[in-house]
């Protein structure tokens, strides 16, 4: 079973702006995939369809075999974990423990089962030692990892990250990359950070003008300067695509 299937997804906002023009994509279980594209390409609109914040004007979205519909939203939102660009949009409780417990507690977990879910999620992101600290006492990078833990505590099918590397210093960027590589969960990473996509995702999609313009190995897409230019994507000045590692 695939983690995500999107078929012929089209959507227009109430003011008539057409954001998606028939998006087709499939993400297999356990894949880490980067979603690339210029501003205004439709990336946010697509992501908001994955857990039913928006519902399709045309086409279908299916998460682990469950179609995204009004009557399935509770299950879909458990399966699709969204991690926002700003962790302060996600952390609002007095302590880290309370923030990570919020979702599973609302799903009915209590007592030792809830405690295991909270501690397990924090351990996966390397933040267990901060369990009783107020989130606002943590660094920005630590808060982002706690935000990831709030989603992991729900045991999602797919983790969707919006610009995960933004505003991180080099050490926090590396720490988050190590966490994301260690997770046994499907990842869809929405990013403008092309080197981060190359580091973490073997496959990338380019969404441009509301359609999937390219889908392939990240290394191949980023090495195609004409493709990047056509869709207003740029590697940092002087960045060179590393040669593939030699097999052992």
Please write the tens of the pLDDT for every residue from 21-58. 999 999 999 999 999 998 888 999 999 999 888 887 79
User: What is the per-residue pLDDT for 246?
Assistant: 64
**Neighbour-count burial of 196, counting CB atoms closer than 10 A to its CB (0-12 exposed, 13-18 middle, 19+ buried):** buried
Report the relative pairing of strands 186-190 and 158-162 from DSSP bridges.
parallel
Would you kindly state where each structural domain of the chain is located, as residue ranges?
Answer: 4-86+157-230
Q: Identify the CATH homologous superfamily for domain 4-86+157-230.
A: P-loop containing nucleotide triphosphate hydrolases (3.40.50.300)
User: What is the per-residue pLDDT for 154?
Assistant: 93
Task: Give me the residues of the chain with pLDDT under 50, please.
Answer: none
Query: In sequence order, which residues have a C-beta less than 8 Å from that of residue 215 and are 6 or more positions away?
Result: 25, 203, 204, 205, 206
With beta carbons less than 8 A apart as the criterion, state whether 4 and 62 touch: yes
User: What is the per-residue pLDDT for 243?
Assistant: 72
């Amino acid at each position: 079973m695939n983690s995500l299937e999107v078929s012929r997804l089209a959507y227009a906002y109430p003011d008539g702006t057409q954001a998606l023009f028939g998006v087709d994509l499939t993400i297999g279980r356990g894949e880490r995939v980067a979603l690339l594209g210029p501003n205004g390409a439709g990336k946010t609109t697509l992501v908001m369809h994955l857990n039913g914040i928006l519902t399709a004007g045309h086409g279908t979205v299916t998460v682990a075999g469950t179609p995204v519909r009004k009557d399935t939203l509770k299950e879909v939102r458990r399966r699709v974990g969204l991690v926002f660009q700003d962790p302060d949009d996600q952390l609002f409780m007095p302590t880290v423990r309370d923030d990570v417990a919020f979702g599973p507690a609302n799903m009915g977990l209590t007592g030792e089962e809830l405690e295991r879910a909270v501690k397990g999620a924090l351990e996966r992101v390397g933040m267990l030692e901060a369990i009783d600290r107020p989130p606002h006492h943590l660094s920005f990078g630590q808060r982002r990892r706690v935000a990831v833990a709030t989603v992991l505590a729900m045991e999602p099918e797919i983790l969707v990250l919006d610009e995960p590397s933004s505003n991180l210093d080099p050490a926090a960027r590396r720490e988050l990359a190590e966490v994301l590589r260690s997770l046994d969960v499907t990842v869809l990473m929405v990013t403008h950070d092309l080197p981060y996509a190359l580091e973490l995702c073997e496959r990338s999609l380019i969404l441009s003008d509301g359609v999937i313009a390219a889908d392939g190995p990240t290394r191949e897409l980023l090495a195609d300067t004409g493709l990047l230019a056509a869709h207003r994507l740029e590697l940092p000045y002087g960045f060179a695509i590393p040669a593939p590692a030699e097999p052992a």
